[in-house]
Chain A
Amino acid sequence: MKLKQHPFIFLSSLLILVLVSFLFALSTGSSHLPSQTILSLVDGTASPIQQSLVFELRLPRALAAFAAGALLSIAGVLMQVLLKNPLADPYVLGVSGGSALAALLAMLMGVNTFWLTGSAFLGALLSISLVFSFAHSNGSWSISRLLLTGIILASGWGALISFVLVISPPEKIHGMLFWLMGDLSYDRPLLPSYIILFFGFLFSLSISRQLNILLWGDQQAGSLGIDIKRLRTSIFFISSLLTAGAITLAGSIGFVGLVIPHLVRLIIGTDHRLLIPASALTGGALLIIADTLARTVLAPQQLPVGVLTALIGVPLFLYLLRKSQ
């Protein structure tokens, strides 16, 4: 494909895609804004209602969607390299399970958004440290051991989540299911997630050459002077932290972290120097579009964004897969 040879053209077209999806999100909603008012928003002559619709409801959601999509996509790329498994996604090691359990318990207690967000993040951290300490206990750090630990813990979290769902009063279950499918209707602080995204992105980019080498196999990487154990540990922690940031922002949105990396690989190949930024932009754009549709297609009925990510992503992915053959 030609795009591989022109990374800058590819990345700038993705940037344009992100901008277009932002415009789509800002101009689309369950209440119709005529196109003149969208212009009047720019010069500040729009009515306060229109201002608050666009800048206080639509914009924060679009920003949250972009961050969550980008975080999950980078985490997915890293996880697939770490576990050498194309089926790996950011949730495979149980980060989302721990986080969701903590969030559901917080919902059961009826706390406010601040505590809900905080407990989701703490739940994710707890899960990460459990996986790490078990997988690492005897000093060795094998992929299969890590994967097994993560999957077992994820099943444990899953069982506890089902338990919480069963004992919860019916009026809380709807909100809980939305959280489990991924929901961007929460008015959460955006800054922490963007800080995680910024540093996580820079770090991933800085190790992108090493990631490329790691794909050839451990021995080759070792012979080229890479400290594999240290690299693996840092990949594990960074991808987990990115995932925690995304879940805290939007619940456990499925599909994005698994498929966006594959989708971008189909277009531009496996060079991580390009794959990481391209995945971040594509994931962000996809989630903005999906969330805009989630709040409008059946309006006033609201849908969890997780339903839409797969509905848009699956046909797109199958199309690209067929084309690449």
Chain B
Amino acid sequence: MKAKLYQNSLLLIILLAHLVICTVTHAQIQVKDDSSQIIILQQPAKNVISLSPGLTELIYSAGGAQYLKGVVSYSDFPEQAKEIPQVGSYNALDLEKIIALQPDLVVAWKSGNPTHQVEQLIKLGLTVYISEPNNFMDIPRTINTLGKLMGTETISEQNSIHFINEFKRLETIYQNKIKSKNKRTFIQIWNKPVMSVNKDHLISKVITFCGGENIFAQAKGLTSAPSIESILVNNPDLIIATGMADTSKKWLSRWQQWPSLNAVKNKHLYAVNPDHLVRHTPRILLGIDEVCRLLNQPSPVIN
């Protein structure tokens, strides 16, 4: 009797151990997302949905081109992303479309997607990786993590190393230049009303990287509408407008009525392509390069 009990419990232990080992060996992929949740995948994700245009770019960089099955509207880069079925816009998701695509991984954007809809996706049993890139180095880190989740590490590691090297190259070029130190910059992201960004915005971080100083770095909100008066008082050395295509030129022409402004006097009014400056994606390198060149242009000699 006792021997049988012993035998049975031994069997049970072996069984349990087997179960534990199986779970451990099958849980091949385990990463932590930006909301500190542990994401576990039994196998690499082959049906991925991206919930922001920026994350779409990062998934491509991570080598997930053939696994991306759904994107949100305005996923316009790379060009192929436009062909992928849409599941709503980043700020109003079509949950039904998402469920119907049966994704094994949904990549969400913490501050952009509606919290209640992301909560609901998790409740419905989907695996949701929540991303919230806040600085330049979050870009290669996220590319690497996404590569791990999709089993495309060879591509993702290559692309993240490329990003880091390129970033360091720009750093050595521009951060040693003294000329641009503290060039006081006004970033204009909208014209009517005139709107700018504070230090937490990606554009402002690019300005700081290039050695400039955002005159509204300390403003309360991420974006704000400063008065014309406060812009004139701050007297920026540079004005950078980030309007689409030709609109920036129109925006910049309004500053000509104040020729005493340093930026106007020295002809430092620039339009930059917003596509390269608003998303946490490898394309930010192009934006950094463009903005740093502008900040480091020599001032025309004035007598």
Contact = CB atoms under 8 A, between A and B. Distances in A.
B221 to A, nearest CB: 6
A29 B112 CA distance: 24
Contact of A30 (B91, B97, B124, B222): B97
A168 B111 CA distance: 12
A175 B114 contact: yes
A187 interface: yes
B116 A185 contact: yes
A53 B96 contact: yes
The bracket for how many chain A residues form the interface is 20 to 34
Interface in B83-104: 86-89, 91-97, 99-100, 102
B119 A30 contact: no
A247 B170 CA distance: 52
A187 B91 contact: no
A113 B119 contact: yes
By DSSP majority rule, is chain B's interface helix, strand, loop, or mixed? Answer: mixed
Interface stretch (A14-22, A83-91, A272-280, A297-305): A297-305
B116 A187 contact: yes
A134 interface: no
Contact of A49 (B88, B100, B119): B100
Contact of A169 (B89, B93, B221): B221
A70 interface: no
B119 A112 contact: yes
A171 B112 contact: yes
A301 B99 contact: no
Nearest to B88: A300
Interface of A: 29-31, 49, 52-53, 56-58, 110-113, 116, 167-171, 174-175, 178, 185-187, 295, 299-302
Q: Which 7 A-B pairs have the closest CB atoms?
A: A31-B100, A300-B94, A174-B91, A302-B92, A300-B88, A187-B120, A113-B116
16 contacts: A31-B100, A49-B99, A49-B102, A53-B96, A57-B95, A57-B99, A57-B124, A111-B115, A171-B111, A187-B116, A187-B120, A299-B96, A301-B73, A301-B88, A301-B89, A302-B88
